[in-house]
Amino acid sequence: MQIKPATLNTMNKNKSYVIWNNKGGVGKSTIAFHVASVYAEKNPDRDVIVVDMCPQANSSSMLMGGGAKSEQKLQELISKDIPKTIVGYITEAVLNGDADINNYVTNLRLINSHLTSNMHLISGDGNLELIAPLLSERADATPLSAADNPWIKIHSIIKNLTRKTLSKDRPCTYFVDTNPSFAIYTAL
């Protein structure tokens, strides 16, 4: 199991951590849930955002309290015209060159009263599997000019996300729960 610290943006003091292992069923989502929850409790001056990059959305379900209630909430987020999930965020970023984080973040305290008010989620979405071939195709597209680099644009979507904040006066700490596959969304 690896927990890797990612880019620290010195301008807004954001931090990000990626939980990854190439084997499934070893506790990545459980670790993401526990570490992010405790971190949020111990750092009330920061917004904590869990980005669920796994199509199974297990960390999303745990953070929303588990059981039928969380499954219903996940379906609600996925079923919106523009999904309020990581798939919605990635889609907007691809189509527009960027995406507004506030359109995709869910404040977890509104769903799970056991979590602190600084806990947020960009929900996982089973449709990650469906958009993977499209992301690969876009990443491999022929550049339109010397300034165009489709591979970097696609592979920087999550890195660029972790540089964003929910408000100007509060830094964010991101915990990214990944899928064990070597799909393009895991590479992001």
- pLDDT > 70 fraction of the chain, expressed in percent and rounded: 93
CATH number for the domain including 71? 3.40.50
Q: Is the pLDDT of residue 113 over 70?
A: yes
Contacts of 52 (CB under 8 A, 6+ apart): 29, 32, 58, 59, 60, 86, 121, 122, 123, 124, 125, 177
Domain count, the chain: 1
Q: Is the pLDDT of residue 6 over 50?
A: no
The better pLDDT of the pair 27, 60 is held by 60
Range in 36-45, 91-100, 138-147 the model is least confident about: 138-147
pLDDT in tens, 152-188: 899 999 999 999 999 888 999 999 998 877 777 777 6
Range of the domain at 159: 2-187
pLDDT in tens, 122-158: 999 999 999 999 999 999 999 889 888 999 899 999 9
Closest CA to 175 of 42, 23, 47: 47
